[in-house]
Amino acid sequence: MRKRLIIYTDGGSRGNPGPSGIGVIICDENGEAVKNLSKYIGETTNNVAEYTALIYGLQEALILRADEVIINSDSELLVKQLKKEYKVKDKDLKVLNGQLEHLLSGFKKYEINHIDRSLNKGADRLADKAVGQESLF
């Protein structure tokens, strides 16, 4: 039996670049959260934080032995670059994009969706919480 997980990701920074965090919610097919991640990732840009959030989400989905993932992100840049609708020009994002492509190859099937911010509030809250924890480091 295939295991399908739904991933909501968000990354954010205060300033661009600035203190940054990621938020990830992984749900089962019924929409029940099976894992929440909130992590401070240091000083970086908003786009790097968005990419990093998805990397963590996909790694966690592989750990949870998912065969299929449905990815939901409110980052238009991230989604369009992964779908190859936009070119990846930034050197840092090129490296992260390569990591994402490698991680995605570990799934039998995946889907990437650009969603409205209003549908991504949980992951957004987790990312904000992580940025707020930067004073602990």
Instruction: Provide mean pLDDT across the span 13-36.
Output: 96
Condensed to tens digits (0 to 9), the pLDDT of residues 45-64 reads 999 999 999 999 999 999 99
Rg for the chain, CA atoms, rounded: 14
CATH class held by domain 4-136: alpha beta
Local confidence band at 2 (pLDDT 50, 70, 90 cut-offs): confident
Element (H, E) at 20: strand 18-27
pLDDT digits (tens, 9 = 90+) for 81-133: 999 999 999 999 999 999 999 999 999 999 999 999 999 999 999 999 999 87
> Are 8 and 124 contacting, i.e. CB atoms less than 8 angstroms apart?
no
Place of tokens 């990621």: 22
Decide: 101 and 83 in contact? Cβ < 8 Å: no
